[in-house]
Amino acid sequence: MPRAILAYIRVIDRLNRGIGRLAMYLLFALMGVLLWSSVSKTFFDPALWTLETAQFVMVAYYVLGGPYSMQIGAHVRMDLFYGDWSLRRKAAVDVVTMLFLMFYLGVLLYGGISSAAYALGYFGTEPLVFFRDLALAFVTGGAEGVSGLLGHMERSSSVWRPVLWPVKAVMILGVTLMLLQCLAELFKDIARLRGEEVGDVL
């Protein structure tokens, strides 16, 4: 494999390993939120923010830990046939399924970007142009330049009514990291098909 591809695999594996191992600790944050929810309902007035906060933390745990799970092969698989195949046959099948997964993640990423633009008050049909203009406004005018482009922020319909753009930003980050990890895994499978083994690059 070319050195540039090996360097890409090494960087992405290390990045997703670090983020994934940090995301594991979000389970403790989730437990803390749910514990406080139980305590507040029992002894005080029920906290309005606990249910949605728990949902947001779970989303972050799931989408940020997904690429690391893929990297270490911890995703659930249907091993009825796959488990008995040779490494080369597994790699050939994985190349095909990885291409389908990358297409799906690309569609999901575009939907996430559109949804995040809507959450920031953009109601047009060109979310990528909106984020480009937002970045340019920030570079040239700082926070004041950005505020002119933002509309009415989308909020949850619950009693607590938090703004939704932070959780949508986390979803975009998670899907992007998953796409990058998919490309790294695709390169590893192509190397296996060529009789090479990338090995542990962590």
Per-residue pLDDT tens digits for 101-160: 999 999 999 999 999 999 999 999 999 999 999 999 999 988 888 888 898 899 999 889
| Contact call for residues 60 and 30 (beta carbons, < 8 A) | no
| Contact call for residues 17 and 202 (beta carbons, < 8 A) | yes
- At residue 1 the predicted structure's pLDDT band, cuts being 50, 70 and 90, is confident
Give residue-wise pLDDT tens across range 69-92.
999 988 777 777 888 888 899 899
Nearest partner of 119 among 130, 132, 129, 106, judged by Cα = 130
Residue 95 has pLDDT above 90, yes or no: yes
| Contact call for residues 180 and 174 (beta carbons, < 8 A) | no
Q: Per 3-state DSSP, what percentage of the chain is helix, strand, and coil (rounded to 5)? A: 75, 0, 25
**For residues 145 and 163, which has the higher predicted lDDT (pLDDT)?**
163
| DSSP annotation string for 33-55 | HHHHHHHHHHHSSPPSSHHHHHH
